[in-house]
Structure 1
């Protein structure tokens, strides 16, 4: 029996007890201000003032106070109650500056601007995501416990605790208006994936953040921990965030623009230019899709993860894969297989659309597909085919972003500077850390 009945579409913000007003900082962390529902109309009309450092991660002259203004179209009722039985609503907010304009470093505003640019070309972006995560047993003595089951890829397992978390999560998401397509066991013990229906860019990015929050909540209610960290367990594969994207026309027909009926790989000329743009900007995209020190523990040769700038139609180890059934034109799309769940989806989607537009504007030519795992090719052969390594550590990726004027312009100077400063602070903190591995290896050996 579904413990989370579908919320009525007629539910008003004033029908709940409290409302969590949601927004994200530059890093993609979900932030909130909670208000009593009785204050909804006042906050919707007048907003709520907050310090810009909440978004930027640091203060700065000239940024001043910002204003949160809830977007009523995003309001949903959280289908689980508080421990004391209260009902809570959720609504995403726009972040405005002191002049009432969209704040330059609001990730949702950057994505909305990028979508507007695509629509001006007659192209409506459609995004879908597949977020992998681990379900670990709670442990009082250390941050992470062991996986909750011993299953493997798409296995039917007898230990149903993890299935129950996925069922709880799926039911809760359905009650909030998602269309949950299914869930399955991923490659490693305790690793899962829940997939919801694709949609508009902003909706999909918002919903990915709600999925992560909901999965963590449902896991905790059953004495487990849902972990979206890119590489939480050294001996097992990491968590990926596969991003699917296509373009449709903005007219009434909304025709798929990526399908090419006469192309041997079912790709339109527009798709080829868009993919060429993504390849052109792949290093900067890596900084946004793999934003933590830990991200690069997942992206290592021989692990089945993409470590080279290449694309394919059938090779699942490539960074960029063309997906779709030629008999269904609407299914033709690009899958980015490198990103991980630590990414800020709003900024990553912004950069992808920017790369698409740049490839189209410059008429970039697409290289040949690489259907073999790039790890099996010699360095000389990769060089002949124009296949080069993606960034292998955070500083290299950040340098690529800093040196990419096209992506920087799309993110905005303030967003880019805040991103770089926060990421480099993370790297410096890691770089100063002396790990147990180093002590074991070098204490008595050097």
Structure 2
């Protein structure tokens, strides 16, 4: 869709308002809305000004002016405005140099795709994430000098089997770790997920399946068909937006927080990656698990840089409450076919060469897709370029390994601070081709340390009162 076609599209849909959206470095959509009749085709060349100092991790106040240039090819009718509204995703530019802004996550993804093509390794990187999320009926949280608390609730939760309910407690709760694929009435969220799916399909997103997930208290998953990296990064923003808004419409609240429920599974975002060239997969071959030598080298790149990657794919303090043994989250940086306790799994569902891919199981949906997917691709490129050996596969259950055996394996960071240190020490593979800038990475690391790690470290945890109050 070019600018002329865009305005024709708006006429056909009787659009009244234009909503411009862009993404900050932490994966949150920002937006500003304009009456459509105040704009013309020049907006796609001149852009729209805004205050970059008010966006987390971006500009200082003395150099705050930024330009957002909408991409007309991303235009979609927004399903959540009362007035007919078209939403368009924008790229961010410096108003002085007219160059793409080096902290714009969408710009990172676009540079990453161009870099992949320039290497000659492949012309397309396909991405297929599996984001999980929770839908709760109620969420309350508070933190102050006087105290701190959180409390969640869900009509599906196992802890509510003894609760008195207005309509009578009918049972049908989802047991702990028993939420994978139950039918209704235990799965009470099927119709809401169905509405989410239809909203995504109306936006052009191809959805393959939806189902309840393992966790009690309304854990769900909706799977999108794989797409090229930039398309999927855009779709992931729509995915979160749709899920949160449809949940709210039904009086529920959806969260992509990785570990909101104690002693139950957290929400991951297993990410399937594959390289293609001239319409053909580069992943299939006669190596381990039917993979090509290039694919195995790509896995080697993921494993070599895994600890640094995890700072971007698991970017919250809460992420590391999920990355613990025993809850289906991989903590060992190893390769395996079928074994879901390894960080790099090679799915064996299909014998078709086109289905060959690597599934990186460590990420979670708190990540910014533009940054997480691009970083993963950059690690794969580095693996291919340097012929990195992924090592021997680990086809046993990693959770049954002894501490001595685990000590000999490469493991994921156990905290956000540890992951950020790994990213500081190992990021040359990200800055290759100027895909990621040092400025972006430094801003990301500094913000996380100052506004998350330090803030949490300053506060006593409620469980500390159980442990220490009476010492």
**TM-score normalized with structure 1 length:** 0.91
8 Å CA contact 2:382–2:429 kept in 1: the answer is no
Q: Which runs of 5+ in 1 are unaligned?
A: 1-7
Residues 310-368 of structure 1: per-residue CA shift (max 9 Å, x gap): 11111111111112456311100011111111001111112111111111111111201
How far did residue 55 of structure 1 move? 4.3
Residue pairs, 1:79-118, within 5 angstroms: 79-82=79-82, 86-98=83-95, 99-118=97-116
Alignment-derived partner of residue 232 in structure 1: 260
Residue pairs, 1:270-349, within 5 angstroms: 270-325=294-349, 327-349=351-373
How far did residue 22 of structure 1 move? 1.1
Alignment-derived partner of residue 195 in structure 1: 223
Alignment-derived partner of residue 47 in structure 1: 47
Residue pairs, 1:397-416, within 5 angstroms: 397-409=419-431, 410-416=435-441
How far apart, CA to CA, are the structure 1 residues paired with 2:355 and 2:436?
Answer: 29
How far did residue 138 of structure 1 move? 2.9
8 Å CA contact 1:130–1:242 kept in 2: the answer is yes
- Change in Cα spacing, 1:439 to 1:354, as seen in structure 2 (3 Å) is same
How far apart, CA to CA, are the structure 2 residues paired with 1:40 and 1:155?
Answer: 50
1:183 aligns with 2:210: yes
Alignment-derived partner of residue 266 in structure 1: 290
1:67 aligns with 2:105: no
8 Å CA contact 1:25–1:54 kept in 2: the answer is no
Alignment-derived partner of residue 441 in structure 1: 467
1:23 aligns with 2:48: no
How far apart, CA to CA, are the structure 1 residues paired with 2:282 and 2:7?
Answer: 36
Alignment-derived partner of residue 410 in structure 2: 388
- Change in Cα spacing, 1:264 to 1:360, as seen in structure 2 (3 Å) is closer
How far did residue 206 of structure 1 move? 1.1
1:354 aligns with 2:378: yes
Task: Pick the aligned partner of 2:445 from 420, 423, 426.
Answer: 420
8 Å CA contact 1:244–1:334 kept in 2: the answer is yes
Instruction: Report SS of the residue matched to 2:276.
Output: strand
Superposition RMSD in Å: 2.2
Instruction: Report SS of the residue matched to 1:427.
Output: helix
How far did residue 304 of structure 1 move? 2.3
Alignment-derived partner of residue 168 in structure 1: 195
How far apart, CA to CA, are the structure 2 residues paired with 1:244 and 1:111?
Answer: 16
How far apart, CA to CA, are the structure 2 residues paired with 1:118 and 1:411?
Answer: 13
Alignment-derived partner of residue 245 in structure 2: 217
Residues 102-141 of structure 1: per-residue CA shift (max 9 Å, x gap): 1111111111111111122141100111110111103579
How far did residue 388 of structure 1 move? 1.9
- Change in Cα spacing, 1:23 to 1:235, as seen in structure 2 (3 Å) is same
**TM-score normalized with structure 2 length:** 0.86
Instruction: Report SS of the residue matched to 1:311.
Output: strand
